Structure 1
Amino acid sequence: MLEQDQPKDVLPFQPIVLIPVYDHEHAIGKVVAAVLQHGVPCMLVDDGSGLPCARVLDALAAAEPDKITLVRHAENRGKGAAVLTGFTRAAADGYTHALQIDADGQHRVADIPAFLSLAAAHPASIIAGCPIYDESVPAIRLYCRYLTHVWVWINTLSLDIKDSMCGFRAYPVAPVIALAARQKIGTRMNFDTDIIVRLYWDGLEVINLPTRVAYPLDGVSHFRLWLDNVLITRMHATLFLGMLWRFPSLLARKWRTR
């Protein structure tokens, strides 16, 4: 495992790979096998999957009980809720960092060492995946992402977050737990953007790491066109209002960085 010289009051770097799973029974086995090749433990959060996927997850956890932790929601609560459940368990188990990755195989698992190396070197920062797409990406998704990018740049008064929607990123666990204790965070497809903006507001640095993304290994998407777009639109409006009263501190941070 990666080790860095740390002050005595800083916990040793202890990462875990966190994978929220909802009905990805055809892809999750390959994703987990690839993750375990990097010698880092893995947590699967079953977000109320149907029986076929639940059985696959049970078999994976039973086959590698020392390497895989399985946490389960009785019913589907959303990707963000699953990730936050994973953070709570990771904190309880003594992990300092969680590397979030999707269950459908779209993220390049071979980049895990690069994420963990940066997280170990910058333990108080978020290591955020910045997607490099291949020809499999739907054009409409690519174009629509830029609307969110613009809102994030407005709501942080910066270009520090290159892509707020990529679910491949490494977080320090403690700041996420502290944020979730005082602030309701989006629990569905609005989660990734909501949490990274709020952690940025809390003073965390964001380090952007380019990573290749393909769509997807099992052909399953849980994005709900109307409902998730409504949630994302409402999130941007809420963040904009939050930015307005943080404007002086964000502006001061911008000038300090310069």
Structure 2
Amino acid sequence: MLKPEFKAAFNPAFTPCAVIPVYNHEHAVGAVVAAVLAHQLPCVLVDDASSDECAAVLDALAAAMPAQVIVLRHAVNQGKGGAVLTGMRHAAAAGYTHALQIDADGQHCTDDIPRFLQQAASRPQALITGCPQYDESVPPLRFYARYLTHVWVWINTLSLDIKDSMCGFRVYPLPPLMALMQRKELGRRMDFDTEVLVRLHWDGMQIVNLPTRVGYPSDGVSHFRAVLDNVLISRMHTVLFFGMLWRAPSLLARKIFGRRSVR
């Protein structure tokens, strides 16, 4: 169920839920779920092989609100991307048309959920993604390191259409995401958020960038692995670069003639 003030703006065929990947965020996830439910979005929580303590928190949330919260569970940790993909598959199979992805650590501004949903409802074929506005809690190294990925994304799309590819606060239209997942094995860890945006952009999807406040993080837990995740991200940029090269004529034709898909 959606808040009455949203319904008039939403396409009747627009049926969103929230997908929240969770890995040992037991101290923050309850507040995130409460904030999402306040906007009357059903929640799909994906427990990516968390600790027993975190699993107990998730089970309690689902038990307290069985009509609004479901917990999916990985026996083995698959990474953030793997958890998001599991949640998206479930959401699509359950009949939802769109899924709002939000992190479990409390870094995203849940007050912006209505803005994201309103944009997604008015542009149901577009992907709505957050463009972070950081406060003083952001680690300076991570803030400036993001710009390396920004530059690679601009190169690999031959555009500035994606302002920030690493923000995990976004709304996906599920049918095109499912189609991409069926034909391409996507990165399953911290490389996922960037790769999926670039590949959906290649497919012709419109990307809508919404400014949103971001903090780091409310529970003090980060699962970014400095060496391994940077290796995965570097490999991803390399693969995408070579994918861009043979798509370059179509990408340039899109800019000139407005043709969308360049699979």
Residue aligned with 1:186, SS = coil
Counterparts of 2:102 and 2:38 in 1: how far apart (Å)? 15
In 1, Cα distance between the equivalents of 2:16 and 2:27?
Answer: 26
Q: Offset of 1:57 from its aligned partner?
A: 0.1
- Distance in 1, matches of 2:180 and 2:95, equals 18
Residue 206 of structure 1 and its aligned partner are, at CA, apart by 0.1
The offset of 1:5, in angstroms, is 7.5
Alpha-carbon contact 1:3-1:120 (below 8 Å) kept: no
CA contact (8 A) 2:9 2:118 kept: no
Correspondence for 2:237 = 236
Contact 1:3 1:12 (8 Å CA) reproduced: no
Instruction: Give the corresponding residue for 1:141.
Output: 142
Give the Cα–Cα distance (whole angstroms) in 2 for the partners of residues 43 and 3 of structure 1: 25
Partners in 2 of 1:194 and 1:232 — Cα distance? Answer: 9
Question: Structure 2 CA distance, aligned partners of 1:183 and 1:243?
Answer: 15
Partner of 1:49: 50
TM-score by length of 1: 0.96
Q: CA 1:136–1:255 in 2, change beyond 3 Å: closer, same or farther?
A: same
The equivalent residue for 2:157 is 156
Query: What pairs up with 1:16-55 in 2 under 5 angstroms?
Result: 16-55=17-56
Offset from partner CA, 1:82-129 (integer Å, 9 cap, x none): 000011100110000000000000000010000000000000000010
Distance in 2, matches of 1:182 and 1:90, equals: 19
Deviation at 1:256, TM superposition (A): 2.9
Provide the identity percentage: 66
**Aligned: 1:119 with 2:133:** no
Residue 187 (structure 2) aligns with: 186
1:105-162 residue CA offsets vs partner (Å, 9 max, x unmatched): 0000010000000000000000010000000000000100000000000000000000
Structure 2 spans left out of the alignment, 5+ residues: none
Return the offset for 1:4: 5.5
> Which residue does the alignment assign to 2:171?
170
Deviations 1:27-60 (A, max 9, x none): 0011111111111111100011010000000000
**Residue aligning to 1:246:** 247
SS in structure 1 at match of 2:13: coil
Distance 1:76 1:256 in 2: 44
CA contact (8 A) 2:20 2:46 kept: yes
Runs (4+) of structure 1 moved beyond 6 Å? Answer: none
Q: Could you say what secondary structure the match of 2:227 adopts? A: helix
Quote the residue 2:218 is aligned against: 217
Deviation (angstroms), 1:70: 1.0
Question: What does residue 108 of structure 1 align with?
Answer: 109
Counterpart secondary structure, 2:45: strand
Deviations 1:144-194 (Å, cap 9, x if unpaired)?
000000000000000000000000000001111110111011100000000
Aligned length: 254
**Partner SS state of residue 128, structure 2:** strand
Is 1:3–1:13's contact at 8 Å kept on the other side of the alignment?
no
> How large is the Cα RMSD of the aligned pairs?
1.3
Scaled by the length of structure 2, the TM-score of the pair is: 0.94
Q: Letter of the aligned partner of 2:115 in structure 1?
A: A
Amino acid at match of 2:138: V
Question: What's the offset of the Cα at 1:3?
Answer: 5.2
Distance 1:129 1:5, change over 3 A: closer
Rounded Cα–Cα distance in structure 1 between residues aligned with 2:107 and 2:184: 30
Q: Supply the distance in 2 between the matched residues of 1:4 and 1:167 (Cα, whole angstroms).
A: 24
Letter in 2 for 1:145: R
1:212 aligned partner, one-letter code: R
Query: Is the 2:126–2:206 Cα contact (8 Å) retained in structure 1?
Result: yes
- In the TM superposition, 1:49-128 aligns within 5 A as 49-128=50-129
